[in-house]
Amino acid sequence: MRSCDHKSSPQGAGELGMDVGLGRCPIVRKVLRIAEPIPLIGHIAFGVIDRGTNLLQLRPTTSCPLSCIFCSVDAGPHSRHRATEYIVDPNYLVEWFRWAVKAKSLDKAHAYIDAVGDPLAYPRIVELVRALKSLPFVETVAMETHGAMLTEKLAEALDDAGLDRLNLSLDALNPELARTLAGAPWFDVRRVMRVAEYIASSLRMDLLIAPVWVPGLNDSEIPKIVEYALRIGAGKRWPPLGIQKYEAHKYGRRPRGVRPLRWREFYEALRKWEREYGVKLVLRPEDFGIKRAKSIPLAFRRFERVSVRVVGPGWLRGQWLGVARNRVITVVGAEGDPPLMRRVPVRILRVKHNIYVAELA
């Protein structure tokens, strides 16, 4: 068993600690608090992500209390690949959100709080929602969660702060199956359902039920979840459901024997359920007011060689965090502790959506 005692760590661009997994500590990971001068454009796991629309993704934390057996980003206490968890200062995140909206020349923008973990693991989530909602150019603030940390009190606080929509990933109604899928024997889906019903019946914010369909595991649960969402009155302003397709990723978890559905199979099933239940299940960006918009200009070209300043440990093992041209860069192929504040030469491998990955040159 590995100890959960704090260990001394070098102080670089942020405070280094560890992820204790909400009292469960199967592994020890560092926690890097992201603040100035680390830019918030460039990393897949934290900050602001622009995919060329009027919606910007905001990622304030990477932590998650669950270890879902199908998780595409290997989140939670039982992660096998993560070396570091990140947490972003809320004021700094809002500042960069403002910057991104201006860089995209947008008059109005949607803020979508998501994570390679669960946004409700962010201790200042209500403060973040309130700050975003106060901005005059923000059309909507929405957020996703698996609901493990959701309570009626927290739902009320988010509603008071101005959250417009909560996307709740409810993957099974059967308690035993829900615990299995969540990878957490303590997870109680019945409690999550009670809060969902409270939100749908009593709060201003909208509720969208967004199960992940993992073929071979929760096939029979998906129609039940559709019926449940309709029964409790989800989708007052937006569609009540957003069924997600399980995908197998390089660093994600792959349940034994599970084969991802082909897109054709997935959409055929959705259209069948649409006819059966009389509800929209094949969703489009327009359903949420999302449209194409100017992208933030790229700071690097693919295969360009640049010098970056190392500012911290990488998200996954074998990575460092680097900064150059007011962007944050994931440096892969790195070994050992990061040489903090030193410059190293790298070769840019990825630039799509202003998410930068480079290798040591």
63 in any annotated domain:
yes
**322, 292, 324, 318: which is closest to 310 by C-alpha?**
322
For residues 297-321, average pLDDT: 97
Q: Is residue 23 part of a domain?
A: no
Confidence grade of residue 29 (pLDDT, cut at 50, 70, 90): confident
Of 176, 171, 194, 177, the C-alpha closest to 241 is 171
Shared domain check, 169 and 68: yes
Q: pLDDT at residue 53 above 50?
A: yes
pTM of the entire predicted model: 0.92
Indicate whether 13 pLDDT > 60: no
| DSSP conformational letter for 47 | E
* Same domain, residue pair 84 and 144: yes
Whether residue 294 is contained in a domain is answered as no
Using CA atoms, how far residue 119 sits from 54, 60, 205, in Å, is 21, 7, 17
Same domain, 272 and 349: no
Per-residue pLDDT of 161-171, as tens digits, reads 999 999 999 99
> Mean per-residue pLDDT for 3-25?
33
- What is the pLDDT averaged over residues 296-309? 98
Residue 8 maps to a domain:
no
Say yes or no to pLDDT of 357 above 60.
Answer: yes
User: Among 10-24, 183-197, 249-263, 266-280, which is the least confidently predicted range?
Assistant: 10-24
Residue 39 has pLDDT above 70, yes or no: yes
Residue 285 has pLDDT above 80, yes or no: yes
Q: Is the pLDDT of residue 14 over 90?
A: no
Q: In percent, how much of the chain has pLDDT > 70?
A: 92
For the chain, the average pLDDT equals: 92
Provide the CATH number for the domain around residue 328. 2.40.50.140
- In total, the chain counts a number of residues equal to 361
**Residue that terminates a domain, selected from 259, 288, 317:** 288
Q: Say if residue 74 is in the same domain as residue 121.
A: yes
d(CA 340, CA 288): 42
Domains in the chain: how many in total?
Answer: 2
For helices 189-202 and 221-232, the axis angle rounded to 10 degrees is: 30
Boundaries of domain holding 225: 30-288
Please give the pLDDT value at position 339: 96
pLDDT tier, 5 (very low <50, low <70, confident <90, very high otherwise): very low
Domain C-terminal end among 262, 288, 314:
288
Distance (Å, whole) CA 329 – CA 352: 12
Separation of CA 292 from chain center: 21
Together in a domain, 233 and 335: no
Q: Which residues contact 45 (CB under 8 A, 6 or more apart)?
A: 59, 62, 86, 116, 315
Q: Which residues are bridge partners to 256 per DSSP?
A: none
Co-location of 100 and 211 in the same domain: yes
If asked whether residues 173 and 273 sit together in one domain, one would say: yes
Asked, for residue 203, whether it belongs to a domain, the answer is: yes
| Inter-residue contact 111 to 138 (CB < 8 Å) | yes
Alpha carbon of 346 to those of 45, 54, 305, 319: distances in Å? 20, 32, 6, 12
According to the model, what pLDDT value does residue 27 have? 57
Q: How much is the pLDDT for 2?
A: 30
> Would you state the torsion angle of the CA atoms of residues 182, 185, 191, 192, taken in this order, to the nearest 10 degrees?
-10
**CATH number for the domain harbouring residue 89:** 3.20.20.70
pLDDT digits (tens, 9 = 90+) for 198-238: 999 999 999 999 999 999 999 999 999 999 999 999 999 99
pLDDT at residue 318, rounded to an integer: 95
Paired with 61 in beta bridges are 87
Same domain for 192 and 252, yes or no, is yes
Structural domain includes residue 300: no
